[in-house]
Each structure stands twice: as C-alpha cells, then as structure tokens.
Chain A
Amino acid sequence: MDLDRLQIRLRRRTTWEAIDLGFAMARRWFMPLWLLWLSTAVPVALIFFLLFNDTLWLVGLCLWWFKPLYEPTLMFWLSRAVFSETLSVKLVMKQWWRITRPQILINLTLRRFNPGRSFTMPVALLEQLKGKPRRQRVQVLGRNQHASAWLTVVGIHLETILQMAFITLLFFLIPEDLRWISLEDMFMGDGQIGEWLQLAGGVLCMSLIAPFYVSAGFALYLHRRSELEGWDLEIAFRQMNERYQQQTESRRSVGSVVSALILSLTIALVTNISLAPAPAYAAGMEAEQTRNTIEEVLADEAFGRYEQEGYWKYIGEEETQEQADNSWMPDFLKILFRIIRGFLEGYASVGKILMWGLGIAIVVYLLYRISQSQGWFDGFAAGRKSRRREQPVELFGLDLRPESLPDDPAAEALKLIEAGQLRAALSLLYRAALLTLINRHHIEIPRSATEGECVGLVERYRSTDEAAFFARLTGLWLRLAYGHQEPASADLITLCQQWQGVYGRVTD
C-alpha cells in the first residue's frame, strides 16, 4: 500500500463526509463499477430465471438475496483504483471466483442482513481476515460507527423509490387509451406484466445503487483506517518532509537543518511510522533539550486546539451494590422489573430461534424449488418445451392438465355412461377436447373465451369434420352446464365412437 499514490485526499472528516467522498468516487468510476456489477448479476439473474421462470417474484427475491455475490468485485476494483491502479473489467472478472469465494456462504446467510455490510466487507476481502481476528478487527473499526447502517437504510429506501418510480414512469408512458392495467395492479396485481416490470426495475435500480453503496462503504472503511492509523498525518508529514528536504538541498543553510531536525523528531514522536530522523540530528541533541523543543512546538497556536467528544459509556455499578442502592425501591417493583427483564430475554431467545427457523425454512424451500426444476438440466430446449406443455391449464373451471385425463378419454367416458354418470362422461370428453386443442394443436384460448368462441376458433383453424364434432360436443355441454339438461346416452355414445377418429388418444 503506497499512500503516495492515493487518488483521494485524506483529511479528517465526519462519517457523513466520508460517505460523500464515496459517492464522489462512485460518480467518477461509475461505468466500470456498473459493468462489474452487471457482469456478475446478469448471469446470476439468468440462472435464477431458468430455475424459477414460472414464479418471477422468487427470481427477484433470489436476485436481491444474492447481492453479496456481486459486490466484492466492485470493492476489489475500488481498492486498486484509489491507489492509482485502474484494472480492466475483464481482468477483474477473470479473478471473479478468487475475489468472491472467501466467506461466500457466510456472506450470503448470516451476514446478509448485516446493515454495515459494505463497511465490513473490506476486512474479509482486502485484509483477508476471518474468524476471531476478523471479529476483533470489525469491533475496533466499528466502534461508534453508525453511518454504515444508515447508508444501508437509505440505500434500501432509495432503491425501492427508484423501482416504484421506474414502474410509474413506464405506466405514464403508456398512452391512456392503451392502458389495459391500473397503476395499482402494476405494483400489486397478479399477472406477468407487473412481475416482469418489478424484476426489470429491480435489476436496474440495484445496479444503479450498488456502485454508490459499495463506494460509500469503502470510503467509510478508508476514513476509519485513516483515523485509527493516522494516514492523513503520515501523508502530510511525508509531504512536509519532502518539501524541507528539497529546501535543504537547495539552500543548504544552517537554519533549515534545525527546522528539519525538529520536524523529523516530531514525526517520530507523533506518528508510529518508520520515518526516523537522520541519525546525525538525533545524536546532536540531548533528551531534555528535545523535550523542551517539542513542548515549545506544541505550545504554538497551531497545536493549541483541544477537542471534546462525548459518547455513551456504561458506568453502572455491580449488581450487589445496585441492590443496595435501590433498597428504597419497593420489593414488588423489583420483582416486576425482574419479570419484565426475564420476559424480554425470553422473547429475544424466541426471536433468535424464529429467525434461525425462518432462515432454515427459506434455504430448504430454495433447495426444494431447485430439486423441482431438475428437468431443466436434462436439456434446455426439451425441458422448456415439455414444461410449456405441462403447465397447468384451467378453462371454464375444467382441469386441463394432461395427467388429470385418462389415456383414452372415449373409453373412460363410455364406462362412465354405462355407470349412468352422464355429466362426468360429457365433462371428460369436453375437457379432453379442449386439452387436445390447447396442447396438441396449439390453439390459444384466452380466459375470456366463451364456449361459442371456442367453437369459432376450431372452425377457423381445424378441419370441417373436427369443427362439426366439436360444435356437437359443445352444444351438449352447454345444454348440460347452463340449461341443466342431461344429454341422451345415445348422443354421448355416438360422440365416444367418433372420438377416436377425430382426436385419438390424449397422449398421442
């Protein structure tokens, strides 16, 4: 780490200023950061889409959950960029697994909801610490540091607002006469369009916010380290030293030697860096003389500034003493407080267990979903095709899944007719006919289509014989369904006999 190559100006800042610095960094390097985020997130999104394409909300949830997977590359790139090393996106992506792998599981589970995620990420990623050393380091870094949590809170809100704005903007861009959906339904209503927009808007907004979030977290980390390790002082003294060295060389005056000596000593005392003064100066001064000189320097107005900072610290006394001090308190109040404390502790334990349970349930559900989508791995094209066919279809309240039908509906219907179940037989034939039209002949039947419109579709796309058969079948079905008139057995038997010639078997 060469502080001389630092691209940012380190100085004493508040945490809010540090976040601002992070935003400035994100603005300056937005494009590479954005591309890095997309390079990871888009492939991950595609994988989730292929796994859960029928439930887009789940794709969105997973994409959001896996955010810690996309951020390390940004942090890595930034850590090099601030020291004047601009890496190409391609180069970083080649090292993607090496950068992202450390502590990946814990980042995606236990640390997923850590509000200071962007702030603590460099500890594992850049300092390569894990386990107890990491915890201790995070503890030191995180002392009195709350801005990172606020950064996350603001980020979440901003992301949500952006997403809503995106959908609202699209809604208002649709000409009013073409609006087939209300704004409310676009956000909340069932249906693919709303979910697609939420997914697209989610990805877009996450990609826009992520560079700022990671940069601000990194800036906070740099600020904190600079504060703890005096990087800003080191840099300032180095610069001063260089300046004095140059002056010494150019003027070669005696006075400047003394000044340089004082400066070097000051550096040695104030900072713990390896900037030892030249031995010749050190040897020439006594300890007492040095101390006096330092006090003289510190007495200067430039060093005469005192700052007072306030913070909260528990200064309570031991419990026994507390009991003694609270002897004035009635016993029942003490008992009450003890019960309340017990309750709160109990609730906290219950909450902890519930959170664990919830986490495990989500993981189990995701594993279940993945196991349910195994068919995809058998072959993308074939899997897609078969899944499209296997989609559960319901029309006119009839279950149209192939597995809900027998292989030979006509034979099954004949059995039902013999058993006197005419309604069941006709329903079976009608259902099988619709299923054949949808799945085998790929006739699109909208949910708003009436039975008469289905007949019209068959007349338009299928042969005259088939259309005539379907019209007869629909006529009987309408009479039964809406007129409550049972068909004659003979009519049904005729339909069953003609069935084989028109449609064959369902599984053909």
Chain B
Amino acid sequence: MDSLSAHSEPKTKAEAANTSAQGSAEGSAPVWLAALLPAALTVGLSFALPTVAQGDTIRIAYDWVPSLGVSLSFLVDGLSLTFALLIAGIGTVILLYSGSYLAGHPRLGRFTFYLLSFMVSMLGLVLADNLITLFVFWELTTITSYLLIGFDHASAKARRSALQALLLTGAGGLALLAGLILLGLTAGSFELSAIIAQGDAVRAHELYLPILVLVLIGAFTKSAQVPFHFWLPNAMAAPTPVSAYLHSATMVKAGIYLLARMHPVLSGTDAWIWSLTLFGAVTAVWASILALRQTDLKLALAYTTVMALGTLTMFLGAEATVAVAAAVTFLIVHSLYKAALFLVIGNIDHATGTREVGQLRGLARFMPVTAIAAAAAALSMAGFPPFLGFIGKELKYEGALAIASEPLLVAGAAVLANALMVAVAGIVALRPFYGGEPATPRRPHEAPLRQWIGPAVLAALGLTFGIAPSLIADSLVQPAVSAILGRPETVKLALWHGVNLPLLLSLFTFALGLLIYAGHLRIRRRLAALGERLPLTGDTAWDRLLDGVKALAAIQTDLLQSGVLRRYLFTIFVSFALLVGASLVITGALRPPTAWPELMVKHWVVVALIVAGACMTTVAYSRLAAVCALGVVGVGVALLFVMFGAPDVAITQLLVETLVVVLVAVAMLRLPSLRPDSARPNRRRDATLAVAVGVVVSATLLAVTEAPFDRSITTYFEQTSVPEAFGRNIVNVILVDFRALDTFGEVAVVAVAAIAAFALIRGAARGGRP
C-alpha cells in the first residue's frame, strides 16, 4: 500500500499542476465563446415572439420510440417561450459572468460544460411536448444540477448538498414519472398538446387523484416547497453563478413550469386548489421568516427564492385570470431581480472575501456600478414603483382578492411575505453598500466589466419593463396566461391602476416592511434563539432518514449476506420450492397423471440404474465410488436417449461422460478424500428440503407434459431440412444451419471456459496467489 501511494502521489500532483496550468493558459476565452450559444438561442427564440403573441403555437416532432408512443416533440407556446427566453437570456449573462468569476480556475472548462448541459436540459424540459421527453429532460436537469452543486467536490459540504438535492429531486422525479405515465394512459396520448384538450376527461377519471398527488410530489420537491424546502438553501454550496442560474431563475422553476403546464389538465378541483394554495402559502411565509434569520447574504437570498416559489405555487392554485397573470408576471420579475442580486453578492464575495452582513457596509464608494445595479434589483424585489416588481406586486394583490375560495388567506400570506421581502431587500442589497467603513477581510474594489454588466442589464430590464410594461404584456404574459388557462385571455399590465385596495395593501406592505427592517436585528436574535430550540428541522430529519436507510441496509445485509455458501443455497432452494410450489397449487396446474404408461422391462432397468446411481452419489464416502456412481447416472441417461430416438445426443452424452470421469479422476489425485458429512445435525433438514425441491420439480414437469403440445417448430424443421438445408440429419441441421448463431455462441462459451480454466491453473503456476 505504502509503495503504491508513494508512486501515485507525485503523479497526481503533476497532473494537478498540469491541468491548472492548462486552465490558466486557456483563460476565459472558451467561456466567452460559450456565451455565444445561449445568446444565439435567445435571438432565435425571440423570432417566435410574433407568432406566439398572435396566440399561435409552433410544434416540431420526430419519432423516437414510436411503439411506446414516445416522440421527440417540442412545442413553443406562450408558456414555454417565456421560460425558454428566461433560460437562454439569463444563461447568456451567467456564462459571461462565470468566465470572469472563475477565471483561472483549473476546472473552468468542465464548469462551462456542465452549465451548458444544464441549460440545454432545461430548454428541452420547457419546450418538450411529449410527457416522456419532458421527463427525460427533467431528470437531466437533476443530474446536471447535481454536478454543478457538487462542483467543489473537495468540500464535504458541497458533496452532501449535491447528494441531498439529487436524492430528493430524484425521488420526486420517480413519483413524477409514475404520475406522467398514469396521465398518458388516462388521456390516451403522451403528447401534451393532445392531453391539454382532455382536461375534463382526466379530472373525471378515477385515477385523477393519484395522478395529481404524484405530479405534485415531483413539482414540490423540484421547486422546494415546504416540507422539501431544505435542499435549496443547502445547494448554495455551489459557486455563485450556479446559484444565480439554477436556484433562482431556472431549475427550481421547473416545478412551477410543470404546475403551469398541467394547469389546464389538472386544475380546478378542490384537491388542486387546496394543495397548491396551502403548500404555497405556508412555504412563502415560512421561507420569508427564515430569510430574515440569515446573516449570510447568499443564504438569505436563497430563502427568498423559496418564498418566491411558494408565492408562485399559491397563485397557480387559482383559476382567476388575474391571479395567473400575477404568477406569470412575478415569475419574470423574480427571475430578473434574483439573478441580478445573486450576481451582485458574487461580486461582493469576490471583492471582499466575505458574505457576512455584519462585516459589510459602505461598499458603494468602492463598487459604485454594482451598488447601482443592486439598488435597482432590490427596489424591484421590494416592489417599489416604477419597477416591474411593483406591477407584479399589485397584480398579486389584485389576484389574491379575485380568488374565489380563500381570498383572505392568500392575500394575507402575500402581504406578509412581501413585507418580509421589503425588509430582506433592504438587508441584502442596500445595507452592505451604505454606512461606515467596511470591516472586510480584503479591501473592496469594483468588479470587472463582465461581472457587473450582467446584473446591470438584468436590473435595467426590471426598470424598463416597469416603465413600459406593454413590452412584455402582449408578447409574453398574455400568451403565457392563455397557455396556462387553456383558453385565450387578454391581459393588460399597467404601472398605475388608480387608488384601489391593492394600492392600499401596497402602502401597508411598505410600512410593515420598513418596520421589520428597522427591527430586524432584534427579530433575528429572537428567531435564532427560537431556532436553537426547534426539535426537528427538515435538514436534520433528512440526516435521520439517511441514517435510518443505512442502518436498515446494514441489518438486511447482515441478515442475508452471511458469506456461507450453504446458507445462500438453502435460501434459494427454499424460495424456489415455496414459490413454484405455491404457484402450482394456486393456478391449479397440479393434476394427478392421467395414466401410468406401459413400460417395458428395459425401461425399468434403466430408470432403476439412474436412481441407484444418484442415490449412491449422495451417500458415497469414497471419491472413486462417487465418480463411478456419477458415471452410472450418465450412462443411464445416455441409454434413455438411445431408446427414445436420439442417437446424436446419446453419443455426445457418452463421450462427455468419459471426459468427465477422466478430468475428475485426474483432479482427484491431488484432492483430499471425502469425509462423512452426515454427522452434522442439519443434514436431516437438508434432506427434507432436497425431497421438497424434487417433488416440486416433478410436479412442474408433470404439469408441463400433461399440457397440450405444439410441435409446429419441429414440423417446420422436418419439412425444410432436406429441401432448403440439404441435410438429412435434422438435429445436426438445426445445430449448424437453422440455429447456427446460437451454436456459435455456445462453442464460444466452451472456448472461454477452457481458457479461463487454463488461466486459473497457469496463473497459479507463475506464482500468483489470490
């Protein structure tokens, strides 16, 4: 071992140096180029805008597994285009950013590859028109995000977080797969565009509830709804661009996309409304409270993401047009400001070496552009006019009040969550930039161009769309709302709605938010103290679950894997006897033989010979006697073959029997003699089991031979053997002509067995010891 590691260590070090040298030599040039791909996709997708704005859709389909109804089909409608544009557009910004953020990192190329793979999977997911295609891309996003979260694989925390996200969203993915298959079978098609038209039929179907529950498990795990929310903050172990991309703008929104996509099919029932509203409301409020508690800027933002996901879920539970419009608008708002803020925090981290709120103040002097972008994004987040966030928030209140079933619950949750959002926006994006001298590990400096251009553009978009909401209202929001509701809708966005209840709620929100901001230090202390006393969080519950699984695995391994050959065999034979025997009894295949045939003396003699040989083998203490008994059995079997018209088989059997005796006899020369085994008390139990297995086999074979017999294949061989294969020995013709490929495989096995045996012996002769 020692010599091994001594040899390998310098090698790995050299490799590491080599790769890092390559990495820095490559610089960020490839990443620059990589940003061109999403940029081109963004431009390409935007060509679809006019078509989609008119209410039309674009569909592209290729057959993939036609026999299973799986096709590689894509659908561009308002909903998928909105998501696709966000994914490609923000992807451009992120790739541009990460090239600078991770400049000189030895695995920058790999990182870019992961990021691009993720982006393509995500695009496939939102554009897929086939349930199975959708699921495949869904799983691909899970896998690529696993790679991205665990990118810093030297850190145990990153590995744990990545595995947690993978297991949790993967488990949800399995539930989703079951749900999608049920849905496809219920609707009679796996094409989404066809299923959407079947909404009423699906809702009336008896499988509706299982479908809904399974799909919701998939969506809720992916979109981090309480109680599955804990994986998302943990996933912040990823590099900041990943957090900005996956955990704000795209991946976690996959669940939201699924809910929106399934809205025309599954929504409108009590089960849908209540589960989405309740889970969404609880998630939104709980996450905003947790966000307030964090001192790490990134973690605080992560919890606000959970809050946003909860809000979106809550509004997608509704049927009202304005509620859905609120969801779509908030989706766009959130993606823009959240990606910008994550990138800003990345800049702060990069420039100062810390993300702790306590150490950060007065940064605006050192990084003015970043500060402006942060301020713009934060104002949009807090919902101040004239930012798009304001429109989103007004719509939310309007939508909440329009919800027929529980307007108070939704409105209350929305107000509370938004007020907390105002406070968090202040803590995260304003407080670090103003005030006295920073107490950071490094002296802060402005980020390079490529690192501030992204957040600046995203924040500017939030402002532009706020001032001129018609830019997105007709082209994106209205088609998306129509797609979610499954009917043409008209949506108008405006900054000023006049003095009404939503505006009053807004004012109340600001007041409450400022109040919370003013007292947030005290609230945080209280929350922290409370958090200490909580008996169980999702995260610790997760650990206990994993520990439980491990313990269970250990128990069952100890139980089943004894490492003793006899016990394995015993288990196998007992299972065989019980399962086959039981199925014989249950299916009624067990019938007494119809008639005992008339046998001649020669038959009885041969049968008696074989039975005697078998019995003698079992009781023989002498090796030679056992081998002889085996030979008797073999010869007896050969005689049976002769009697029943199988000369080829009989000859082969006799020859092989000869060889077996030769080989066993040769090997015996060096093997010790057999000792009686019957002294063991278990032998009686073994004998009982052996008899049971024998009886089951006999009964099965009886049932088989009593059943009607289909001789058509043999008849075919008999009739074609001479005319087509020019051979009169039908057995040989089958071997070398009709089933020549099988025979080839079989002789290959024989050759491999011989060579393996040769290697086993010769390997030992050369001094190899296992």
Chains A and B come from one and the same complex = no
